Structure 1
Amino acid sequence: MTAALLDWPQGTFASEVKVEGEKLTVVREVDGGLETVSMKFPAVVTADLRLNEPRYATLPNIMKAKKKKIETVKPSDLGIDVSSRIKILSVEDPPQRQAGVKVETVEDLVSKLKESGRI
């Protein structure tokens, strides 16, 4: 939808992206195999899971991360106002529910509903 609104070319579900000068080549997986699409910049490209290999943390790096100090910064040091912008006007309990009535027959139910003005 973004590509249609901007009137740009699009490459969806990209598993491989190559930039060659002013052109962009997108390889994507379709039911019949791989499809290669070339387009000019600017373009909208969406990624498939196979586009990048995830990085996994190694045990030595995890141990190093545990030893690192975490710096604590107050919002006022960054010039951020965190005061509440919500004003509570009133707080009330919901109205109490009335007790239900058991009826024996369908006719009793219909008459009770007529008395209460429901039907």
Structure 2
Amino acid sequence: MTAAFLDWPQGTFASKLEKIDDKLKVTREVDGGLETIQIKMPAVISADLRLNEPRYATLPNIMKAKKKPIKKLTLSDLGVDTTPRIEVLSVEDPPTRQAGVVLADVDQLIVKLKEGGHI
């Protein structure tokens, strides 16, 4: 949605990124292997777990962080506009499906398919 609002290209589930001039080469894992795309910048990228190795905080750094003051800001302090930009027209449940039928043999299957107009 972010890429659509900004009218920017997007690279989803990136497991490897390379910057080539003003373009990005994005590699991602798909069912059949790896897919590589090239997109212009600026772009919206979503990362896969394999993109980076997380850093874990050490106990001394956790203790230092507890002592630091937390400055609270409001949205108006940051100049953020929170007016809705999307209008929900309706929300509906999908149509219910018919229950399945267990048939004894192939002949009954052919009769049911003919009755339904499928063959």
Normalising by the smaller structure, the TM-score range is: 0.3 to 0.5
TM-score of the superposed pair, with normalisation by structure 1:
0.48
TM-score of the superposed pair, with normalisation by structure 2:
0.48
